[in-house]
Structure 1
Protein backbone atom coordinates (compact mmCIF):
# COMPACT_ATOMS: atom_id res chain seq x y z
CA UNK A 1 0.00 0.00 0.00
CA UNK A 2 1.24 3.49 -0.81
CA UNK A 3 2.08 6.00 1.88
CA UNK A 4 -1.02 7.74 3.25
CA UNK A 5 -2.00 11.16 1.94
CA UNK A 6 -2.84 12.17 5.52
CA UNK A 7 -1.28 10.54 8.58
CA UNK A 8 -2.07 11.64 12.12
CA UNK A 9 -0.31 10.07 15.10
CA UNK A 10 -1.25 10.61 18.75
CA UNK A 11 -2.80 14.00 17.97
CA UNK A 12 -4.20 15.94 20.90
CA UNK A 13 -5.85 19.35 21.00
CA UNK A 14 -6.31 21.48 24.11
CA UNK A 15 -7.81 24.95 24.04
CA UNK A 16 -8.35 27.59 26.68
CA UNK A 17 -12.04 28.16 27.44
CA UNK A 18 -13.97 30.25 29.94
CA UNK A 19 -13.73 27.42 32.46
CA UNK A 20 -10.02 26.80 31.83
CA UNK A 21 -8.24 24.28 29.62
CA UNK A 22 -10.57 22.12 27.53
CA UNK A 23 -9.52 18.77 26.03
CA UNK A 24 -10.89 18.63 22.46
CA UNK A 25 -9.04 15.66 20.92
CA UNK A 26 -7.35 12.77 22.71
CA UNK A 27 -4.59 10.79 21.00
CA UNK A 28 -6.05 10.57 17.49
CA UNK A 29 -4.15 8.19 15.19
CA UNK A 30 -5.51 7.97 11.66
CA UNK A 31 -4.34 7.35 8.06
CA UNK A 32 -6.18 8.47 4.93
CA UNK A 33 -5.04 7.05 1.59
CA UNK A 34 -4.93 8.45 -1.91
CA UNK A 35 -8.34 8.65 -3.58
CA UNK A 36 -10.18 7.61 -0.42
CA UNK A 37 -13.35 9.31 0.77
CA UNK A 38 -13.49 9.45 4.55
CA UNK A 39 -16.55 10.57 6.48
CA UNK A 40 -16.24 11.98 10.01
CA UNK A 41 -19.44 11.66 12.01
CA UNK A 42 -20.47 12.00 15.65
CA UNK A 43 -22.54 14.18 17.97
CA UNK A 44 -22.04 17.93 18.25
CA UNK A 45 -18.96 18.71 20.31
CA UNK A 46 -17.28 15.38 19.55
CA UNK A 47 -14.31 17.03 17.82
CA UNK A 48 -15.15 16.33 14.15
CA UNK A 49 -14.61 19.85 12.84
CA UNK A 50 -11.54 20.35 15.03
CA UNK A 51 -10.01 17.19 13.58
CA UNK A 52 -10.74 18.38 10.04
CA UNK A 53 -9.18 21.77 10.78
CA UNK A 54 -6.04 20.09 12.10
CA UNK A 55 -5.82 18.03 8.89
CA UNK A 56 -5.93 21.27 6.93
CA UNK A 57 -3.44 23.13 9.09
CA UNK A 58 -6.16 25.58 10.09
CA UNK A 59 -5.78 24.54 13.73
CA UNK A 60 -2.52 23.49 15.38
CA UNK A 61 -2.35 20.23 17.28
CA UNK A 62 -1.22 20.58 20.89
CA UNK A 63 0.88 17.43 20.51
CA UNK A 64 1.42 14.58 18.06
CA UNK A 65 2.29 14.66 14.37
CA UNK A 66 0.21 15.64 11.34
CA UNK A 67 1.66 14.52 8.00
CA UNK A 68 0.07 15.64 4.72
CA UNK A 69 1.59 14.48 1.44
CA UNK A 70 4.77 13.71 3.35
CA UNK A 71 4.98 17.19 4.89
CA UNK A 72 4.85 17.58 8.68
CA UNK A 73 2.30 20.37 9.15
CA UNK A 74 3.27 20.81 12.79
CA UNK A 75 6.68 22.12 11.69
CA UNK A 76 5.37 24.79 9.31
CA UNK A 77 4.79 28.40 10.31
CA UNK A 78 1.59 30.22 9.32
CA UNK A 79 2.98 31.35 5.97
CA UNK A 80 4.18 27.83 5.21
CA UNK A 81 0.78 26.39 6.09
CA UNK A 82 -0.96 28.96 3.87
CA UNK A 83 1.30 28.05 0.94
CA UNK A 84 0.74 24.35 1.51
CA UNK A 85 -3.04 24.79 1.49
CA UNK A 86 -2.81 27.00 -1.60
CA UNK A 87 -0.84 24.38 -3.50
CA UNK A 88 -2.40 21.14 -2.27
CA UNK A 89 -5.73 21.58 -0.47
CA UNK A 90 -9.26 22.75 -1.08
CA UNK A 91 -11.54 23.54 1.86
CA UNK A 92 -15.33 23.87 1.81
CA UNK A 93 -17.06 25.31 4.88
CA UNK A 94 -20.67 25.06 6.02
CA UNK A 95 -20.97 28.86 6.04
CA UNK A 96 -19.46 29.28 2.55
CA UNK A 97 -16.87 31.98 3.49
CA UNK A 98 -17.18 33.76 0.17
CA UNK A 99 -15.75 37.28 -0.07
CA UNK A 100 -18.87 39.50 -0.18
CA UNK A 101 -17.29 42.31 -2.20
CA UNK A 102 -16.21 39.94 -4.98
CA UNK A 103 -18.31 38.40 -7.73
CA UNK A 104 -18.64 34.64 -8.08
CA UNK A 105 -15.98 34.68 -10.79
CA UNK A 106 -13.59 36.73 -8.66
CA UNK A 107 -14.14 34.47 -5.64
CA UNK A 108 -13.23 31.37 -7.67
CA UNK A 109 -10.31 33.09 -9.40
CA UNK A 110 -8.69 34.33 -6.18
CA UNK A 111 -6.85 31.11 -5.16
CA UNK A 112 -5.78 30.61 -8.77
CA UNK A 113 -4.31 34.12 -8.89
CA UNK A 114 -2.53 33.52 -5.58
CA UNK A 115 -1.04 30.36 -7.11
CA UNK A 116 0.30 32.45 -10.01
CA UNK A 117 -2.03 31.10 -12.73
CA UNK A 118 -1.93 33.46 -15.71
CA UNK A 119 -5.31 32.18 -16.94
CA UNK A 120 -6.98 32.34 -13.52
CA UNK A 121 -10.22 33.94 -14.74
CA UNK A 122 -10.58 31.53 -17.67
CA UNK A 123 -10.12 28.57 -15.33
CA UNK A 124 -12.53 30.09 -12.81
CA UNK A 125 -15.17 30.61 -15.49
CA UNK A 126 -14.84 27.00 -16.62
CA UNK A 127 -15.22 25.77 -13.04
CA UNK A 128 -18.36 27.85 -12.54
CA UNK A 129 -19.77 26.28 -15.69
CA UNK A 130 -19.00 22.85 -14.22
CA UNK A 131 -21.18 23.56 -11.16
CA UNK A 132 -23.90 25.10 -13.32
CA UNK A 133 -23.27 28.73 -12.44
CA UNK A 134 -21.68 30.18 -15.54
CA UNK A 135 -24.65 32.54 -15.84
CA UNK A 136 -24.01 33.84 -12.29
CA UNK A 137 -20.33 34.72 -12.78
CA UNK A 138 -20.90 38.47 -12.36
CA UNK A 139 -23.21 38.19 -9.35
CA UNK A 140 -22.16 38.90 -5.76
CA UNK A 141 -22.78 36.41 -2.92
CA UNK A 142 -25.67 38.48 -1.52
CA UNK A 143 -27.43 38.14 -4.88
CA UNK A 144 -27.31 34.35 -4.76
CA UNK A 145 -29.18 31.68 -2.83
CA UNK A 146 -27.49 29.53 -0.20
CA UNK A 147 -27.28 26.62 -2.61
CA UNK A 148 -25.69 28.81 -5.26
CA UNK A 149 -23.18 30.23 -2.78
CA UNK A 150 -22.16 26.74 -1.73
CA UNK A 151 -21.68 25.77 -5.38
CA UNK A 152 -19.40 28.79 -5.81
CA UNK A 153 -17.48 27.65 -2.71
CA UNK A 154 -17.13 24.18 -4.24
CA UNK A 155 -15.87 25.67 -7.50
CA UNK A 156 -13.36 27.81 -5.60
CA UNK A 157 -12.07 24.79 -3.65
CA UNK A 158 -11.76 22.54 -6.70
CA UNK A 159 -10.47 25.00 -9.32
CA UNK A 160 -6.79 24.69 -8.27
CA UNK A 161 -7.10 20.86 -8.60
CA UNK A 162 -6.15 20.09 -4.98
CA UNK A 163 -4.83 16.68 -3.99
CA UNK A 164 -6.81 16.89 -0.74
CA UNK A 165 -10.38 18.20 -0.46
CA UNK A 166 -11.77 18.92 3.01
CA UNK A 167 -15.46 19.67 3.57
CA UNK A 168 -16.97 20.72 6.91
CA UNK A 169 -20.74 20.11 6.93
CA UNK A 170 -21.05 21.16 3.25
CA UNK A 171 -24.82 20.59 3.27
CA UNK A 172 -25.49 21.87 6.80
CA UNK A 173 -27.04 25.21 5.79
CA UNK A 174 -29.01 23.90 2.83
CA UNK A 175 -32.44 22.38 2.30
CA UNK A 176 -32.81 18.79 1.10
CA UNK A 177 -32.87 19.52 -2.62
CA UNK A 178 -29.86 21.83 -2.56
CA UNK A 179 -28.06 19.51 -0.16
CA UNK A 180 -28.50 16.55 -2.51
CA UNK A 181 -27.20 18.65 -5.41
CA UNK A 182 -24.09 19.62 -3.44
CA UNK A 183 -23.46 15.97 -2.53
CA UNK A 184 -23.58 14.98 -6.20
CA UNK A 185 -21.25 17.82 -7.18
CA UNK A 186 -18.81 17.09 -4.37
CA UNK A 187 -18.37 13.48 -5.40
CA UNK A 188 -18.28 14.40 -9.08
CA UNK A 189 -15.40 16.81 -8.37
CA UNK A 190 -13.62 14.06 -6.45
CA UNK A 191 -14.04 11.61 -9.33
CA UNK A 192 -12.99 14.06 -12.05
CA UNK A 193 -9.91 15.35 -10.26
CA UNK A 194 -8.87 12.25 -8.29
CA UNK A 195 -8.74 14.09 -4.99
CA UNK A 196 -8.72 12.49 -1.56
CA UNK A 197 -11.89 13.66 0.19
CA UNK A 198 -12.44 14.06 3.94
CA UNK A 199 -15.77 15.42 5.10
CA UNK A 200 -17.62 16.14 8.31
CA UNK A 201 -21.33 15.50 8.17
CA UNK A 202 -24.48 14.80 10.13
CA UNK A 203 -26.27 13.66 6.96
CA UNK A 204 -26.66 9.89 6.65
CA UNK A 205 -27.14 10.21 2.89
CA UNK A 206 -23.69 11.78 2.62
CA UNK A 207 -21.94 9.43 5.06
CA UNK A 208 -23.29 6.39 3.21
CA UNK A 209 -21.45 7.46 0.05
CA UNK A 210 -18.05 7.43 1.77
CA UNK A 211 -15.54 4.59 1.43
CA UNK A 212 -14.99 4.67 5.17
CA UNK A 213 -16.76 6.30 8.08
CA UNK A 214 -15.20 7.16 11.43
CA UNK A 215 -17.28 8.13 14.43
CA UNK A 216 -15.87 10.50 17.01
CA UNK A 217 -17.10 10.52 20.59
CA UNK A 218 -15.72 12.92 23.19
CA UNK A 219 -12.65 13.63 21.08
CA UNK A 220 -11.79 9.99 20.48
CA UNK A 221 -12.30 7.60 17.58
CA UNK A 222 -15.01 5.13 18.57
CA UNK A 223 -13.46 1.66 18.09
CA UNK A 224 -16.74 -0.08 17.35
CA UNK A 225 -17.44 1.87 14.12
CA UNK A 226 -16.31 -0.06 11.07
CA UNK A 227 -15.81 0.83 7.47
CA UNK A 228 -18.98 1.63 5.59
CA UNK A 229 -17.97 -0.86 2.90
CA UNK A 230 -17.75 -3.65 5.48
CA UNK A 231 -21.17 -2.79 6.86
CA UNK A 232 -22.69 -2.72 3.39
CA UNK A 233 -21.30 -6.19 2.66
CA UNK A 234 -23.03 -7.77 5.66
Structure 2
Protein backbone atom coordinates (compact mmCIF):
# COMPACT_ATOMS: atom_id res chain seq x y z
CA UNK A 1 0.00 0.00 0.00
CA UNK A 2 1.40 3.47 -0.88
CA UNK A 3 2.17 5.72 2.06
CA UNK A 4 0.41 8.57 0.23
CA UNK A 5 -2.51 7.94 -2.11
CA UNK A 6 -4.32 10.84 -3.76
CA UNK A 7 -7.34 10.14 -5.97
CA UNK A 8 -9.05 12.77 -8.14
CA UNK A 9 -8.19 15.63 -5.77
CA UNK A 10 -9.54 19.05 -6.67
CA UNK A 11 -9.33 22.30 -4.74
CA UNK A 12 -11.42 25.41 -5.30
CA UNK A 13 -11.04 28.44 -3.04
CA UNK A 14 -13.11 31.64 -2.82
CA UNK A 15 -11.63 34.73 -4.46
CA UNK A 16 -12.61 38.39 -4.80
CA UNK A 17 -13.90 37.77 -8.31
CA UNK A 18 -15.47 34.41 -7.53
CA UNK A 19 -14.25 30.84 -6.97
CA UNK A 20 -10.67 30.07 -8.00
CA UNK A 21 -9.79 26.57 -9.19
CA UNK A 22 -6.39 25.67 -7.69
CA UNK A 23 -6.07 21.93 -8.38
CA UNK A 24 -7.89 19.69 -10.85
CA UNK A 25 -8.35 15.92 -10.55
CA UNK A 26 -4.88 15.15 -9.18
CA UNK A 27 -4.17 11.44 -8.78
CA UNK A 28 -0.82 10.41 -7.33
CA UNK A 29 0.68 7.56 -5.30
CA UNK A 30 3.92 7.76 -3.31
CA UNK A 31 5.67 4.70 -1.93
CA UNK A 32 7.11 4.53 1.57
CA UNK A 33 10.71 5.75 1.70
CA UNK A 34 10.49 7.54 -1.64
CA UNK A 35 11.63 11.13 -2.23
CA UNK A 36 9.49 13.18 -4.60
CA UNK A 37 10.13 16.69 -5.89
CA UNK A 38 7.07 18.79 -6.77
CA UNK A 39 8.08 21.33 -9.40
CA UNK A 40 6.37 23.76 -11.74
CA UNK A 41 5.89 27.49 -12.30
CA UNK A 42 4.62 29.80 -9.58
CA UNK A 43 0.87 29.43 -9.16
CA UNK A 44 0.80 25.87 -10.52
CA UNK A 45 -0.61 24.47 -7.25
CA UNK A 46 2.52 22.88 -5.75
CA UNK A 47 2.19 24.33 -2.24
CA UNK A 48 -1.57 23.74 -2.23
CA UNK A 49 -1.00 20.09 -3.08
CA UNK A 50 1.52 19.83 -0.24
CA UNK A 51 -1.01 21.33 2.18
CA UNK A 52 -3.62 18.79 1.09
CA UNK A 53 -1.15 15.95 1.66
CA UNK A 54 -0.62 17.19 5.21
CA UNK A 55 -4.30 17.64 5.98
CA UNK A 56 -3.68 21.38 6.36
CA UNK A 57 -6.18 22.13 3.60
CA UNK A 58 -9.30 20.18 2.72
CA UNK A 59 -9.97 19.11 -0.86
CA UNK A 60 -13.11 20.29 -2.60
CA UNK A 61 -13.47 16.79 -4.01
CA UNK A 62 -11.51 13.55 -4.19
CA UNK A 63 -9.81 11.42 -1.56
CA UNK A 64 -6.46 11.41 0.22
CA UNK A 65 -4.98 8.65 2.36
CA UNK A 66 -1.70 8.83 4.27
CA UNK A 67 0.01 6.01 6.16
CA UNK A 68 -3.13 3.91 5.75
CA UNK A 69 -5.44 6.59 7.20
CA UNK A 70 -8.12 8.26 5.09
CA UNK A 71 -7.69 11.96 5.86
CA UNK A 72 -10.59 13.20 3.79
CA UNK A 73 -13.26 13.31 6.50
CA UNK A 74 -11.16 13.58 9.67
CA UNK A 75 -11.91 16.47 12.04
CA UNK A 76 -9.30 19.06 12.92
CA UNK A 77 -8.35 17.42 16.23
CA UNK A 78 -7.91 14.01 14.61
CA UNK A 79 -5.84 15.55 11.80
CA UNK A 80 -3.61 17.30 14.34
CA UNK A 81 -3.03 14.02 16.18
CA UNK A 82 -2.28 12.24 12.91
CA UNK A 83 0.29 14.87 11.91
CA UNK A 84 1.87 14.74 15.37
CA UNK A 85 2.32 10.98 15.15
CA UNK A 86 3.21 10.59 11.47
CA UNK A 87 4.29 13.79 9.74
CA UNK A 88 6.82 16.58 9.84
CA UNK A 89 6.15 19.82 7.98
CA UNK A 90 8.72 22.47 7.05
CA UNK A 91 7.18 25.76 5.96
CA UNK A 92 8.91 28.43 3.91
CA UNK A 93 8.13 30.97 6.65
CA UNK A 94 9.48 28.79 9.51
CA UNK A 95 6.55 29.23 11.99
CA UNK A 96 8.83 29.13 15.03
CA UNK A 97 7.37 30.19 18.38
CA UNK A 98 9.02 33.56 19.10
CA UNK A 99 8.92 33.27 22.90
CA UNK A 100 10.74 29.91 22.89
CA UNK A 101 14.43 29.19 22.40
CA UNK A 102 15.62 27.06 19.50
CA UNK A 103 15.87 24.07 21.82
CA UNK A 104 12.37 24.62 23.20
CA UNK A 105 10.94 25.00 19.67
CA UNK A 106 12.44 21.68 18.60
CA UNK A 107 11.33 19.92 21.79
CA UNK A 108 7.71 21.15 21.61
CA UNK A 109 6.22 18.42 19.35
CA UNK A 110 8.02 15.77 21.40
CA UNK A 111 6.63 17.18 24.65
CA UNK A 112 3.14 17.22 23.15
CA UNK A 113 3.61 13.55 22.32
CA UNK A 114 4.55 12.83 25.94
CA UNK A 115 8.24 12.09 25.33
CA UNK A 116 10.25 12.35 28.54
CA UNK A 117 13.48 12.58 26.54
CA UNK A 118 12.17 15.51 24.47
CA UNK A 119 15.06 17.86 25.24
CA UNK A 120 17.72 15.21 24.69
CA UNK A 121 16.33 14.43 21.25
CA UNK A 122 15.94 18.15 20.48
CA UNK A 123 19.56 18.78 21.37
CA UNK A 124 20.70 15.97 19.05
CA UNK A 125 18.63 17.30 16.17
CA UNK A 126 19.97 20.83 16.64
CA UNK A 127 23.48 19.42 16.65
CA UNK A 128 22.70 17.54 13.42
CA UNK A 129 21.88 20.82 11.64
CA UNK A 130 24.94 22.55 13.11
CA UNK A 131 23.11 24.69 15.67
CA UNK A 132 24.04 23.18 19.02
CA UNK A 133 25.75 26.46 19.89
CA UNK A 134 22.51 28.40 19.23
CA UNK A 135 20.20 26.23 21.35
CA UNK A 136 19.49 28.99 23.89
CA UNK A 137 18.81 31.70 21.30
CA UNK A 138 15.35 32.95 20.39
CA UNK A 139 14.13 33.11 16.77
CA UNK A 140 14.63 36.89 16.61
CA UNK A 141 18.29 36.31 17.46
CA UNK A 142 18.76 33.86 14.57
CA UNK A 143 19.35 34.49 10.89
CA UNK A 144 16.81 33.28 8.34
CA UNK A 145 19.02 30.32 7.49
CA UNK A 146 19.36 29.39 11.14
CA UNK A 147 15.60 29.63 11.66
CA UNK A 148 15.05 27.31 8.70
CA UNK A 149 17.46 24.78 10.19
CA UNK A 150 15.64 24.97 13.53
CA UNK A 151 12.35 24.38 11.70
CA UNK A 152 13.86 21.33 10.00
CA UNK A 153 15.19 20.00 13.30
CA UNK A 154 11.71 20.43 14.83
CA UNK A 155 10.09 18.54 11.96
CA UNK A 156 12.69 15.77 12.10
CA UNK A 157 12.79 15.29 15.87
CA UNK A 158 9.74 12.99 16.22
CA UNK A 159 11.06 10.68 13.48
CA UNK A 160 8.18 11.28 11.05
CA UNK A 161 7.14 8.69 8.50
CA UNK A 162 6.37 11.49 6.04
CA UNK A 163 8.16 14.83 5.79
CA UNK A 164 6.63 17.64 3.73
CA UNK A 165 8.81 20.64 2.89
CA UNK A 166 7.79 23.80 1.04
CA UNK A 167 10.81 25.43 -0.66
CA UNK A 168 13.18 24.25 2.10
CA UNK A 169 16.19 25.94 0.46
CA UNK A 170 14.38 28.84 -1.19
CA UNK A 171 15.67 31.60 1.12
CA UNK A 172 19.07 30.11 1.97
CA UNK A 173 22.58 30.71 0.70
CA UNK A 174 24.27 27.82 -1.07
CA UNK A 175 26.26 26.54 1.92
CA UNK A 176 23.31 26.65 4.34
CA UNK A 177 21.02 25.14 1.71
CA UNK A 178 23.37 22.20 1.35
CA UNK A 179 23.24 21.57 5.12
CA UNK A 180 19.44 21.48 4.94
CA UNK A 181 19.45 19.20 1.89
CA UNK A 182 21.84 16.75 3.54
CA UNK A 183 19.59 16.56 6.59
CA UNK A 184 16.48 16.04 4.47
CA UNK A 185 18.01 13.08 2.68
CA UNK A 186 19.45 11.75 5.93
CA UNK A 187 15.83 11.49 7.07
CA UNK A 188 15.06 9.46 3.96
CA UNK A 189 17.93 7.13 4.86
CA UNK A 190 16.23 6.68 8.23
CA UNK A 191 13.06 5.56 6.42
CA UNK A 192 11.09 8.78 5.98
CA UNK A 193 9.18 9.61 2.81
CA UNK A 194 10.09 13.08 1.50
CA UNK A 195 7.81 15.38 -0.49
CA UNK A 196 9.64 18.57 -1.47
CA UNK A 197 8.20 21.61 -3.24
CA UNK A 198 11.09 23.30 -4.97
CA UNK A 199 12.16 25.62 -7.78
CA UNK A 200 15.71 24.29 -7.51
CA UNK A 201 16.63 21.98 -10.42
CA UNK A 202 19.55 20.56 -8.44
CA UNK A 203 17.34 19.66 -5.45
CA UNK A 204 14.66 18.15 -7.70
CA UNK A 205 17.32 16.08 -9.45
CA UNK A 206 18.36 14.52 -6.13
CA UNK A 207 14.87 13.13 -5.56
CA UNK A 208 13.89 9.64 -6.65
CA UNK A 209 11.08 11.09 -8.75
CA UNK A 210 9.91 14.49 -9.89
CA UNK A 211 6.29 15.52 -10.48
CA UNK A 212 5.63 18.66 -12.50
CA UNK A 213 2.44 20.65 -12.06
CA UNK A 214 1.08 23.25 -14.41
CA UNK A 215 -2.28 24.97 -14.13
CA UNK A 216 -3.26 22.81 -11.17
CA UNK A 217 -2.71 19.54 -13.02
CA UNK A 218 0.09 16.97 -13.17
CA UNK A 219 1.64 17.28 -16.61
CA UNK A 220 1.28 13.92 -18.36
CA UNK A 221 4.55 12.36 -19.45
CA UNK A 222 6.61 14.68 -17.23
CA UNK A 223 6.47 12.79 -13.93
CA UNK A 224 10.24 12.35 -13.93
CA UNK A 225 11.30 15.66 -15.50
CA UNK A 226 12.91 18.29 -13.30
CA UNK A 227 11.82 21.90 -13.50
TM-score normalised according to structure 1 size: 0.94
Q: 1:129 aligns with which of 127, 130, 133?
A: 127
The residue matched to 2:206 in structure 1 has which SS?
coil
8 Å contact kept, 2:129–2:179: no
How much does 1:181 deviate? Answer: 2.2
8 Å contact kept, 1:109–1:124: yes
> 1:75 maps to what in 2?
73
In 2: Cα distance, 1:182 partner to 1:122 partner: 21
8 Å contact kept, 2:34–2:188: no
8 Å contact kept, 2:129–2:180: no
Please list every run of 5 or more consecutive structure 2 residues that lacks an aligned counterpart in the other structure.
none
In 2: Cα distance, 1:83 partner to 1:226 partner: 32
Q: Equivalent residues in 2 for 1:167-178 (5 A)? A: 167-178=165-176
Name the stretch that deviates more: 198-207 or 179-188. 179-188
Q: Equivalent residues in 2 for 1:1-234 (5 A)? A: 3-191=1-189, 193-227=190-224
In 2: Cα distance, 1:131 partner to 1:180 partner: 10
8 Å contact kept, 2:122–2:157: yes
- The alignment of Structure 1 onto Structure 2 pairs a total of residues equal to 226
8 Å contact kept, 1:28–1:220: yes
Deviation sequence 1:121-170 (CA, Å, 0-9, x none): 11111111111111111001111111111111111000000000000001
How much does 1:38 deviate? Answer: 0.5
In 2: Cα distance, 1:173 partner to 1:181 partner: 13
In 2: Cα distance, 1:136 partner to 1:48 partner: 32
TM-score normalised according to structure 2 size: 0.97
The residue matched to 1:117 in structure 2 has which SS?
coil
Deviation sequence 1:32-87 (CA, Å, 0-9, x none): 00100000000000000000000000000011000001111012000000000000
In 1: Cα distance, 2:195 partner to 2:163 partner: 6
In 1: Cα distance, 2:23 partner to 2:118 partner: 38
For the aligned residue pairs, the C-alpha RMSD in angstroms reads: 1.1
In 1: Cα distance, 2:176 partner to 2:158 partner: 24
The residue matched to 2:147 in structure 1 has which SS?
helix
8 Å contact kept, 1:95–1:173: no
In 2: Cα distance, 1:176 partner to 1:132 partner: 15
In 2: Cα distance, 1:15 partner to 1:168 partner: 20
Please list every run of 5 or more consecutive structure 1 residues that lacks an aligned counterpart in the other structure.
none
How much does 1:118 deviate? Answer: 1.1
